[in-house]
């Protein structure tokens, strides 16, 4: 195990004080990782295109997930003042820094998928 892994996974007095818990607080939820992946793949995407791409998330659920990811500063919501309204989503710098974790999840899944 690498030193930084040992430091990150060390025992602490309470779970809520761990970096692991903080990370989960940002991305825990049924679709958050899926939405982050989809936005990463498209770089910039509009709501309807995102919903069509994912096709398993209701309008209301996707809207809620996007709001939570925006509050966590993992995505950027850019609204254009026009009619009809145009809104685009992209990863923030903070969201981009999460991509190596998505890659690690993907690599682990490819290695152990049956």
pLDDT of residue 3 exceeding 70: no
Q: What is the pLDDT of residues 76-100, one digit of tens each?
A: 999 999 988 899 999 999 999 999 9
Instruction: Count the domains in the chain.
Output: 1
Chain mean pLDDT for the chain:
90
Task: Write down the pLDDT at residue 17.
Answer: 79
Using pLDDT thresholds of 50, 70 and 90, give the confidence band for residue 4.
Answer: low
The secondary structure of residue 81, as a DSSP letter, is: -
Domain that holds residue 107: 3-112
Residue 11, pLDDT score:
72
State mean pLDDT over 48-62: 94
The CATH number that applies at residue 28 is 1.10.10.10
What is residue 3's three-state secondary structure?
helix
Global pTM reads: 0.85
Structure tokens, 81: 């003042």
């Amino acid at each position: 195990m690498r030193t930084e892994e040992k430091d990150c996974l060390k025992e602490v007095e309470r779970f809520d004080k761990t970096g692991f818990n903080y990370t989960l607080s940002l991305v825990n939820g049924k679709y958050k990782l899926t939405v982050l992946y989809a936005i990463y793949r498209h770089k910039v995407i509009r709501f309807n295109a995102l919903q069509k791409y994912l096709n398993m998330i209701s309008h209301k659920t996707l809207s809620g997930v996007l709001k939570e990811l925006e509050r966590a500063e993992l995505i950027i919501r850019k609204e254009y003042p026009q009619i009809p309204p145009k809104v685009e989503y992209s990863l923030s710098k903070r969201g981009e820094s999460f991509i190596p974790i998505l890659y690690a999840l993907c690599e682990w899944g490819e290695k152990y998928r049956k």
